[in-house]
Amino acid sequence: MNAVIVHAPCKINLTLDVFGARLDGYHDLESIVVPFTPADEISVKSKPAHTPYHHVTLDCDDSSLPTDEGNLAFRAAIVFLNRFMPNQPQDVTIRLSKKLPCQSDLGGGSSDAAAVLKALHRIFCVDPKELLELGSTIGSDVSLFLIGGPVLMSGRGEKVARLITSLSHIFGVIVKPDIEVPTAKAYALVDALKNRVPGKSTERLCELLRTELSMEKLGVAFNNDFEDAIFQAYPEVAEAYRCVASAGAIRALLCGSGSAVFGLARDYDHATQLVNLLRARFPYVTMATSFKEEL
């Protein structure tokens, strides 16, 4: 059969309120998340296997990434086949073309996994509700990429609900300094902040999104509880934030726990201007546009 081609966008947390650690080691979160381009491209082919078991092959144009169970896209295929095709062995080939930088907290791995699930769903036509449940078992962010469009995320990230908003397109820029921020360390840094009060930005922005609002008013409501801790520990990320702000972005915002930084633009032309101003400063600079692709 012909390959099913699916795009795997990145994510921008317009708000990210981080609460205390739970008994299972995770933190409760509240966040408004929007998928954006750039996006990885994934093609998936499947045919009946000539063996009594499933076989998955993953080819990736980034040699630094694993192509086995260490890759969420590979794992998603295995989990899907075991769940929905237990007695019909399949031979699945996945080709992954990477456009998103690693170690940026743009959600690339989870988005790739969701894209594989979408592709297999289109091939085998499974129940979308079951697919969402399956996504949450693969990774915390996988389900939000399955829904598409602006999402309200809570719990450890596995609880997601589509948001109905007045937003059409959001434009911006993404830069990534040449440094990595391990997620576990980011949470430890937040926990170590004295007298920290978790934000309530998600609730505020949810109210704003029900009304017509300008990009300027939208940007004022952005918040990320990781910013203070990450900027103190990683001056390179703080410098990227300052550069995005000084280039004229309406609002600079840390992407998740970092290290990438997003800059909100008024429109396409403004985003293009930001990209041109920042391109010489960082190893990774790209335009970002809100993205919607449902199951």
Choose the final residue of a domain: 117, 137, 162.
162
Mark whether 16 and 154 lie in a shared domain: yes
Mark whether 69 and 195 lie in a shared domain: no
Mark whether 155 and 191 lie in a shared domain: no
Mark whether 146 and 199 lie in a shared domain: no
**Which residues are CB-neighbours of 58 under 8 A, at least 6 positions away?**
67, 68, 71, 73, 74, 77, 94, 96
Mark whether 113 and 61 lie in a shared domain: yes
What's the CA gap between 157 and 30, in Å, rounded?
8
User: Averaging pLDDT over each range in 84-93, 147-156, 161-170, 214-223, which range is the top one?
Assistant: 84-93
Residue 295 lies in a domain: no
Give the pLDDT confidence score for residue 167 in this predicted structure.
74
Category of 67 on φ-ψ map: left (φ > 0), alpha (ψ -120 to 50) or beta: alpha
Number of domains in the chain: 2
Give the pLDDT confidence score for residue 22 in this predicted structure.
83
Cβ atoms of residues 37 and 116 within 8 Å: no
**Which residues are CB-neighbours of 196 under 8 A, at least 6 positions away?**
190, 225
Choose the final residue of a domain: 113, 138, 162.
162
Residue 249 lies in a domain: yes
Task: Count CB neighbours of 64 within 10 A.
Answer: 7
Tokens of 213: 């609002």
- Give me the CATH number covering residue 131: 3.30.230.10
Mark whether 268 and 137 lie in a shared domain: no
Helix (H, G, I), strand (E, B) or coil at 14: strand
What is the arithmetic mean of pLDDT over 112-132?
A: 94
**Beta-bridge partner residues of 41:** 7, 97
Residue 248 lies in a domain: yes
What is the arithmetic mean of pLDDT over 38-48?
A: 96
Mark whether 218 and 285 lie in a shared domain: yes
Give the pLDDT confidence score for residue 178 in this predicted structure.
94
Mark whether 117 and 188 lie in a shared domain: no
Mark whether 188 and 232 lie in a shared domain: yes
Mark whether 28 and 121 lie in a shared domain: yes
pLDDT, one tens digit per residue, over 128-174 is 889 988 998 998 889 999 988 899 999 888 889 998 787 778 999 99
Mark whether 115 and 152 lie in a shared domain: yes
Mark whether 142 and 233 lie in a shared domain: no
Cβ atoms of residues 231 and 237 within 8 Å: yes
212 pLDDT band (50/70/90 cuts)? confident
Range of the domain at 45: 4-162
Residue 130 lies in a domain: yes
- Give me the CATH number covering residue 181: 3.30.70.890
What is the arithmetic mean of pLDDT over 255-281?
A: 97
What's the CA gap between 62 and 95, in Å, rounded?
11
27 pLDDT band (50/70/90 cuts)? confident
Asked if residue 295 has pLDDT above 70, the reply is no
Choose the final residue of a domain: 138, 162, 186.
162
Q: Which are the catalytic amino acids?
A: 11, 141
